[in-house]
Amino acid sequence: MPEQIYLDNAATTPLAPEVAEAMGPWLGDAFGNPSSMHATGRVARQAVDAARAQVAALLAADPGEIVFTGSGTEADNLALVGVAETFGPGDFHLVTSAIEHPAVLETCDYLQRRGVDVGYLPVGEDGIVDPAELSGLLRPNTRLVSVMAANNVVGTIQPIAELASVAHEHGALFHTDAVQAVGKLPLDVRAQSIDLLSLSAHKLNGPQGVGALYVRGGVGLEPLLHGGGQECGVRSGTENVAGLVGLGRAVELAGAGRGEENARLVALGERILAGLEARVPNAYLIGDRYRRLPGHLCLGFLGQEGEAIRLLLALDEMGIAASAGSACSASHAGEPSSVLVAMGFDAIRARGSLRITLGRFNTDADIDRLLEVLPEAVESLRPITSHPITA
Ligand code: PLP
C-alpha cells in the first residue's frame, strides 16, 4: 500500500485498532449464525445484541429501534422506499434537500419514477438549509421529510431538530442521513424528534459495508430485502456478525472521545486555514465558517477552479490523499458538484473544490506537511485558467 498522509476521512476512515481487535474473534473461531439455536449460534446472537445496544446508546434510542443494514446507502434506501411503500405511491409527497448524498437523491429519483412526488429544499450560499423554507414546500400529502445532518461535500451542519419540528407540525415523518455526523455531532433521537436516522460504520473508524437505520418505535417500514426474517423481518439476510461487532465498538469509541477529539480536529482545521491565508492567497473556504463538521474543509482556489483534479493529482503525487468533492462521485470526476451548484456556484467554480477531511489518526505533522506541499501544488498549476475571477 502506498504510504500517504490520509486527509480524506469523509470518504472512509482507517479501521481503529480497538475495532479490529473486537472483530478478530468473529473472523476466526467465532463463526456462528445468530439465528441458530445451539450454543455457537447463541454466542453470535449475543454479540449482535450487544452491538445493537451500543448503537442505540449513542443515539439515545432503544435497541429494538435499530435495524442493521449492509451500508449507509442501504439504510437511506430502506428509510425512503420503506416508508413510501407503506403508503403506496399514489398519494405520497416527499421533501428532501438539494444537497443530499446520491444515496438519498438517486432513491428519490427512483421513487419519482414510481409515482411519488418529490420536492427539493434549496440551500443558501453557506451550504445550510433554511427551516423556514420547509413550510412553503409541505403539502397535505407530504408524508416524509429527509434532510441530512451534515453534508459530505462541504461539511455544513443542518438544523435537523428545527426541520423535524416543522415536518411533525404537518404530520410528516422526519428522516436524517447522519452518515457524516454520527460520532461527531451530539445526536439524541428523542430530543431532536428524529423518526428515522441512517449511519455507516466506515465513516467512524469502523468496517466498510456495515450500516444501521434507527426506526422510531411505531414507524412502519416495508422491507427492501425479503427472506429469513432477520432484523424483525425488516431486513432479511444472515447478519454480518464481525462487521456489527466492529460497528458497535466504533460507535462506543466515537461517543466516549467525542468532545476532546472534536476540539483537536477543529484546531488542526484552523491551522490549515491560517496557513493557507498566509501562503495561498487565492484559497477560500466554501460553506459556513463555523457550522461545519470538525476538521472538514472544502476549499476553492480563485481563478484555478477548473484545475481541481490536477491539484488533487499533484497532491497525490506528493503523498497526500485528499478529494475533489465527494469520493462517491469519482466516476463523475471533473463534473460540477451538484452540492456547489445548489449553493449558487457557476459550472466552472462548482468543479473546483478540494476537500480535506481530518480524522482520528491525523497529527500536527500531517498538517505541517500539507502546508509545505499545498502552496507548491497550487503554484504548479499556473498559468491560471482563462475563466474570469468573479468572487
Ligand atoms: N450518506 C452520506 C452523507 C455519505 O457521505 C455516504 C458515504 O459517503 C453515504 C450516505 C453512503 O454510505 P455508505 O458508503 O455506507 O453506503
Under the banding of pLDDT at 50, 70 and 90, the label for residue 389 is very low
**Distance of alpha carbon 310 from alpha carbon 4, whole angstroms:** 18
Q: Which one is predicted more confidently, 5 or 347?
A: 5
Active-site residue (options: 108, 232, 298, 328): 328
Q: Which CATH number fits domain 17-253: 1.10.1370.30, 3.40.50.300, 2.50.20.10, 3.40.640.10?
A: 3.40.640.10
Establish whether residue 148 lines the binding site of ligand 1, counting it when its CB lies within 6 angstroms of any ligand atom.
yes
Under the banding of pLDDT at 50, 70 and 90, the label for residue 350 is confident
Q: What is the mean pLDDT of residues 10-22?
A: 98
% of the chain with per-residue pLDDT over 70: 94
Under the banding of pLDDT at 50, 70 and 90, the label for residue 249 is very high
Mean of the per-residue pLDDT values for the chain? 93
**The domain 5-12+258-379: what is its CATH number?**
3.90.1150.10
The answer on pLDDT for 271 being more than 90 is yes
The answer on pLDDT for 390 being more than 60 is no
Nearest alpha carbon, ligand 1 atom 13: 72
Establish whether residue 105 lines the binding site of ligand 1, counting it when its CB lies within 6 angstroms of any ligand atom.
no
Tell me the per-residue pLDDT of 277-321, one tens digit each, with 9 for 90 and over.
999 999 999 999 999 999 999 999 998 888 888 999 999 999 999
Tell me the per-residue pLDDT of 22-77, one tens digit each, with 9 for 90 and over.
999 999 999 999 999 999 999 999 999 999 999 999 999 999 999 999 999 999 99
Give the pLDDT of residue 334.
Answer: 63
The answer on pLDDT for 89 being more than 80 is no
For residue 17, the CA-to-ligand 1 centroid distance in Å is 22
The answer on pLDDT for 204 being more than 80 is yes
Under the banding of pLDDT at 50, 70 and 90, the label for residue 88 is confident
Tell me the per-residue pLDDT of 141-182, one tens digit each, with 9 for 90 and over.
999 999 999 999 999 999 999 999 999 999 999 999 999 999
Longest dimension (CA), the chain: 70
Give the pLDDT of residue 173.
Answer: 98
Tell me the per-residue pLDDT of 91-141, one tens digit each, with 9 for 90 and over.
899 999 999 999 999 999 999 999 999 999 999 999 999 999 999 999 999
Establish whether residue 72 lines the binding site of ligand 1, counting it when its CB lies within 6 angstroms of any ligand atom.
yes
Give the pLDDT of residue 388.
Answer: 47
Question: How far apart, in Å, are the Cα atoms of 29 and each of 248, 249, 291?
Answer: 19, 19, 46
Give yes or no: 328 in active site: yes
For residue 223, the CA-to-ligand 1 centroid distance in Å is 20
Q: Are 54 and 261 in contact (CB under 8 A)?
A: no
Pairing of strands 211-215, 66-69: antiparallel
Question: Which residue of 73, 224, 244 sits with most ligand 1 atoms within 8 Å of its CB, as the best mutation to test the pocket?
Answer: 73
Give the pLDDT of residue 254.
Answer: 95
Q: What is the mean pLDDT of residues 260-274?
A: 97
For residue 29, the CA-to-ligand 1 centroid distance in Å is 31
For residue 8, the CA-to-ligand 1 centroid distance in Å is 13
Q: Where are the domains of the chain?
A: 5-12+258-379, 17-253
Question: Which residue of 129, 148, 179, 187 sits with most ligand 1 atoms within 8 Å of its CB, as the best mutation to test the pocket?
Answer: 179
Report which ligand 1 atom has the smallest distance to the Cα of 150. Answer: 3
**Distance of alpha carbon 133 from alpha carbon 313, whole angstroms:** 39
Under the banding of pLDDT at 50, 70 and 90, the label for residue 331 is low
The answer on pLDDT for 360 being more than 60 is yes
